[in-house]
Amino acid sequence: MRFEDSGLENLKADLNRLDEVMDDHGLVRAGQWDYERVTYDRKFELREGVYYFRIQGYAVEGDVDTFKATIQLMAPLLGKHYYPHGVEYGEGEHFPPSLINQCQKLIDDVKTEISKFA
């Protein structure tokens, strides 16, 4: 599920400050990056299954590996994990309304914080 028109896709942010904001909201980058892209994930384990909320971005200036980059954020995603195949983001997936609301709150909170310094 893609959160269209979330407002995040209009934001650019310094990588180091972005890492701090995302970490404050339980979104982890860990090893999910390359020289041009970053991915922040938050795992939700519910009765209905395991879900991942994901915010991705790409460097419009600098390189991620040097920690000196400006990141353009993209529309957030919500997917359901299927063992052993991976995460499905398709429109045919069912996502609990409470999880969608929780992810929307995360989007709003992250957007508010990033907007302060973007």
Domain boundaries, the chain: 8-113
For 8-113, the fitting CATH number among 3.30.310.100, 3.40.50.720, 3.50.50.60, 3.40.1180.10 is 3.30.310.100
What is the predicted pLDDT for the residue at 93?
87
What is the predicted pLDDT for the residue at 118?
67
The Cα 12–Cα 50 span in angstroms is 30
72, burial (CB in 10 Å: exposed 0-12, middle 13-18, buried 19+): middle
pLDDT tens track, the chain, 118 positions: 999 999 999 999 999 999 999 999 999 998 777 889 999 999 999 999 999 999 999 999 999 988 899 999 999 999 999 988 888 888 788 899 999 999 999 999 999 999 988 6
What is the predicted pLDDT for the residue at 90?
81
Q: Which residues contact 39 (CB under 8 A, 6 or more apart)?
A: 29, 32, 33, 54, 55, 56
